[in-house]
Chains A and B, each alone.
Chain A
Amino acid sequence: MTHTIKALAVATLAVGLSGCAAHQQRSQMEAFNAAWVQGDYLGAAATMEAKATLTGGDKAEDKQLLELLHQAEAHRLAGDTATAISLYDRAETGMKLDDTTGLAAGLLEGGKAVLLNDAESDYTPMLAETVLVNTYKGLAFLQQGNRDYARIEFNRADDRTRRAVETFAKEITAQQEAMAEEAEAEQQSIQQSLESDALQESIAANYGETSQWSVYPEFIVPSATYLHGLFFLASGETGDLERAATSLKRVAEMTPGNRALAADAELATALAAGKAKREALGDRVWVIYENGLGPVAEETRFDVPLLLFHGNTTSPAYTGIALPRYANRQAVSEPLTLRDGSGETITPEAFSAMGKVIHTEMQARFPAVLGRAVASAAIKALIQTAAAEEMGAVGQLGTALFAAATTQADLRSWQAIPDHWEVARLARPDSGRLTLAAGGTALGELSLPDWPYTLVYVKRPSAQSPAQVSLIDLQGEHGGEQLSLHGAPSGDEAGELVADAS
Chain B
Amino acid sequence: MRLLLILLASLTLLAGCATTPRYVDPANDDGPVSMALDYRDFENAAGRAVDSMLESGAVDNPNGGRYVMVVSRIVNDTMQRLDTDQLVKKIRVDLLRSGRVVTTTAVGIDGAEDEMNMLSRTLRDSDEFDQRGVQKKGTLQAPDLSLSGKILQRNRKVGREQQVEYYVQLSLTDLASGLALWEDETQVIKRGSNASVSW
Decide whether A and B assemble into one complex: yes
Residues of A in contact with B (beta carbons under 8 Å apart)? 95-96, 99-100, 148-149, 151-152, 155-156, 159-160, 162-163, 166, 237-239
Stretch in B41-49, B136-144, B191-199 touching the partner: B191-199
> In whole Å, how far is B154's beta carbon from the nearest beta carbon of chain A?
9
CB-CB < 8 A to B77: which residues of A? Answer: 151, 155, 237
Verify B76–A151 contact, CB threshold 8 A: yes
> In whole Å, how far is B107's beta carbon from the nearest beta carbon of chain A?
19
Verify B196–A100 contact, CB threshold 8 A: yes
Per-position contact with A for B60-81: 1 when CB-CB < 8 Å, else 0? 0000000000000001111111
In whole angstroms, what is the CA distance A152 to B151 when docked?
Answer: 11
Q: A151-B77, A152-B76, A156-B197 are in contact. Are A162 and B150 (CB under 8 A)?
A: no
Identity of the chain B residue whose Cβ is nearest the Cβ of A155 in the assembled complex: B79
Give me 12 other A-B pairs in contact (C-beta within 8 A), A100-B193, A166-B157, A237-B75 excluded. A96-B196, A99-B197, A151-B77, A152-B76, A152-B78, A152-B81, A155-B78, A156-B79, A156-B199, A160-B197, A162-B155, A237-B150
Identity of the chain B residue whose Cβ is nearest the Cβ of A163 in the assembled complex: B197
CB-CB < 8 A to B193: which residues of A? Answer: 100
> Is B104 at the interface (CB under 8 A from chain A)?
no
> In whole Å, how far is B53's beta carbon from the nearest beta carbon of chain A?
20
Identity of the chain A residue whose Cβ is nearest the Cβ of B148 in the assembled complex: A238
Q: A159-B155, A166-B157 are in contact. Are A152 and B197 (CB under 8 A)?
A: no
Verify A99–B75 contact, CB threshold 8 A: no
CB-CB < 8 A to B198: which residues of A? Answer: 159
In whole angstroms, what is the CA distance A156 to B193 when docked?
Answer: 17
In whole angstroms, what is the CA distance A162 to B155 when docked?
Answer: 9
Identity of the chain B residue whose Cβ is nearest the Cβ of A101 in the assembled complex: B195
Verify A100–B195 contact, CB threshold 8 A: yes
Verify B150–A238 contact, CB threshold 8 A: yes
CB-CB < 8 A to A238: which residues of B? Answer: 150
In whole angstroms, what is the CA distance A400 to B76 when docked?
Answer: 58
> Is B153 at the interface (CB under 8 A from chain A)?
yes
Verify B80–A152 contact, CB threshold 8 A: yes
In the assembled complex, 6 residue pairs joining A and B whose CB atoms fall closer than 8 Å, in A order, are A95-B196, A149-B81, A152-B80, A156-B199, A166-B157, A166-B194
> In whole Å, how far is A110's beta carbon from the nearest beta carbon of chain B?
15
Verify B150–A99 contact, CB threshold 8 A: no
In whole angstroms, what is the CA distance A220 to B197 when docked?
Answer: 17
Verify B196–A99 contact, CB threshold 8 A: yes
Verify B195–A159 contact, CB threshold 8 A: no
> In whole Å, how far is B108's beta carbon from the nearest beta carbon of chain A?
15
Verify B197–A155 contact, CB threshold 8 A: no
Identity of the chain A residue whose Cβ is nearest the Cβ of B84 in the assembled complex: A148
> In whole Å, how far is B178's beta carbon from the nearest beta carbon of chain A?
15
In whole angstroms, what is the CA distance A148 to B81 when docked?
Answer: 9
CB-CB < 8 A to A155: which residues of B? Answer: 77-79, 153
Verify B197–A96 contact, CB threshold 8 A: yes
Identity of the chain B residue whose Cβ is nearest the Cβ of A97 in the assembled complex: B196
In whole angstroms, what is the CA distance A151 to B81 when docked?
Answer: 10
> In whole Å, how far is B191's beta carbon from the nearest beta carbon of chain A?
16
In whole angstroms, what is the CA distance A418 to B139 when docked?
Answer: 59
In whole angstroms, what is the CA distance A149 to B79 when docked?
Answer: 9
Identity of the chain A residue whose Cβ is nearest the Cβ of B76 in the assembled complex: A148
In whole angstroms, what is the CA distance A149 to B80 when docked?
Answer: 9
Of the candidates B75, B79, B81, B150, the one whose C-beta lies within 8 Å of that of A159 is B79
In whole angstroms, what is the CA distance A166 to B193 when docked?
Answer: 14
> In whole Å, how far is B188's beta carbon from the nearest beta carbon of chain A?
16
CB-CB < 8 A to B78: which residues of A? Answer: 152, 155
User: Which residues of chain B (167-199) have a CB below 8 Å from chain A?
Assistant: 193-199
In whole angstroms, what is the CA distance A69 to B83 when docked?
Answer: 27
In whole angstroms, what is the CA distance A413 to B81 when docked?
Answer: 29
